[in-house]
Amino acid sequence: MIELDERIKTLKETGAISEDTARQVDELRRLFLREFGIQLTEENASACVTHICFALERIARGEGITPVDEAVRDEILCDPKYDGACFITERIFRNIAALTEEERDYLIIHVIVLLNKICEDYDRQVLS
């Protein structure tokens, strides 16, 4: 967790993200732990957290993002963790930030990666 704290601190100190974004990301981390029992770490969530930081900054500036490619979107729709990722993403929408549909699709991809990493870590610990 300390490494993820350092990532957020560095983003804030370099002016890449605002204090408000840092606060929202801290709330996001508490939400994951409280609602899903998931401790976000540098190892399992660095890309996800970084994406959310920059998504919140883009939204604050009124900037958009290129939509997820249709082929990629079709692929993630088939992922076994897609429904869980959508559920988590909707909780983020309701509790943390009103992300755009384009940002939502990217976040679903990041949450799928996060869930896969958690499963891989669990398998490695249990099956080793």
Q: What is the pLDDT of residues 12-52, one digit of tens each?
A: 999 999 999 999 999 999 999 999 999 999 989 999 999 99
Residues 28, 96: contact at Cβ < 8 Å?
yes
pLDDT band at residue 128, thresholds of 50, 70 and 90?
Answer: low
pLDDT band at residue 127, thresholds of 50, 70 and 90?
Answer: confident
pLDDT band at residue 1, thresholds of 50, 70 and 90?
Answer: low
pLDDT at position 101 over 90: no
Give the domains, in start order, of the chain with CATH numbers: 2-127 (1.10.1790)
Give me the phi and psi of 111, to 5 degrees please: -70, -40
Q: Sort 70 into a burial class: Cβ within 10 Å, 0-12 / 13-18 / 19+.
A: exposed
Angle at CA of residue 42, ends 84 and 69, nearest 5°: 50
pLDDT (tens digit, 9 = 90+) per residue, 84-96?
A: 999 999 988 887 7
pLDDT (tens digit, 9 = 90+) per residue, 43-82?
A: 899 999 999 999 999 988 999 899 999 999 999 999 999 9
| Threshold 0.95, pTM exceeds | no
